Structure 1
């Protein structure tokens, strides 16, 4: 399974999600709840602890690699995102195929395809470039460190904000699957699917990098030192100590 890493940028640092982030996750998830109509975001400390526990269980099972999105200057948690739907294509061809099972040593294996999802950001951090840079860090790690062949993303077809954000990255829309699943509001939803292939990454990277210099400063965030918000330094792609 992929080794947890810290991915650092100018406006956001992605840290492996851990229980120490619970209070920060609770704070970030309490802001602007009305904007989370299509996204599962924990509300309150107990819900945040449960959210993290579930994410860590997925990680332990080799199905996901979750992150806390952290302000690199203050250590405040700004949201969460993760790699999921990890798939492995190396080794002998097996039929019927078994997805999510690496060939060889599972401790050193990296996936060939993955999805970026379960992303949500505190209301005060929206429109500041945090989401763009977080996606950039994850895509760069996926294609340049892991050597992935494909990254996929998806969104509730009604979620215009998320779809526009994905499309602005340069991802290709593969279509909309009708009546795909049940949404958070109980309505059977359509789902829009997107992807970026390894051969498309250089062009996508150029598109994103043209946008990164225009990051705007965030305003309205509380003072540093909010409970549960810690600051740890780490370079892009820095491996966490065992």
Structure 2
């Protein structure tokens, strides 16, 4: 089962989700909520506590790795995201890498989802760098075969962000689930394969201003 981990970038730090940041998440979620038309975001402290507790329960079962998103520009928690729907195709192996006597499992495939950001952090590059950090963990440490990303088919902003990563549109699953607006939702499915990660990484390096040393 994947261990708690902190992922640090230039402007973003993904910290293990915990009840300690509930109040920060409530503040982040209370900004312009009209930006959450297609995304379920907890409202108020009671809903946020339930949201975090549910994520931690899934983590304990090895099904998800949830993060709080800290924007280093403001040193504020500005949202949440997670690696989820973890599937294990291989047997036990040392975890963390290099640990003596520690045996666990790392996922073979995973989704990235449950992403939401405060209105003030949207369109700033926070989402892009968060995706880069999680993709790097998944492909370079876990060595997954595939990452899946999904979006309400009507959510053009989210779909554009996913497509900008270089993800492949696999198709649209009709009447896939209940949408955030309580209508029946069609869901666009995207994927990135391990063989595609080098090209995706290079694209993200360019967009984030990250370049390998010569």
Of 159, 172, 176, the match for 2:172: 176
Residue pairs, 1:41-190, within 5 angstroms:
41-91=41-91, 103=92, 108-190=104-186
Whole-Å separation in 2 of the counterparts to 1:176 and 1:74: 37
Whole-Å separation in 1 of the counterparts to 2:62 and 2:136: 21
Whole-Å separation in 2 of the counterparts to 1:141 and 1:185: 32
Structure having the larger proportion of residues in strand: 2
The alignment's TM-score, normalised by the length of structure 2, stands at: 0.91
Structure 1: where are the runs of 5+ without partners? 92-102, 215-242
Whole-Å separation in 2 of the counterparts to 1:7 and 1:104: 22
Whole-Å separation in 2 of the counterparts to 1:105 and 1:41: 36
1:75 Cα offset (Å): 3.0
RMSD of aligned residue pairs (Cα, Å): 1.6
The alignment's TM-score, normalised by the length of structure 1, stands at: 0.80
The structure whose RCO (Cα within 8 Å, separation 6+) is larger is: 1
Tell me which residue corresponds to 2:98.
Answer: none
Are residues 147 and 104 of structure 1, via their aligned partners in 2, closer, same or farther at CA, if it must alter by over 3 Å?
closer
Structure having the larger proportion of residues in helix: 2
Paired residues, number: 203
4+ long deviations beyond 3 Å: 103-107
Whole-Å separation in 1 of the counterparts to 2:178 and 2:18: 29
2:21 matches 1:21? yes
1:184 Cα offset (Å): 1.8
Whole-Å separation in 2 of the counterparts to 1:117 and 1:11: 20
- Describe the superposition over 1:191-223 as per-residue Cα deviations: whole angstroms up to 9, x where unpaired: 000000001000000111111029xxxxxxxxx
Whole-Å separation in 2 of the counterparts to 1:2 and 1:65: 7
Whole-Å separation in 1 of the counterparts to 2:58 and 2:40: 16
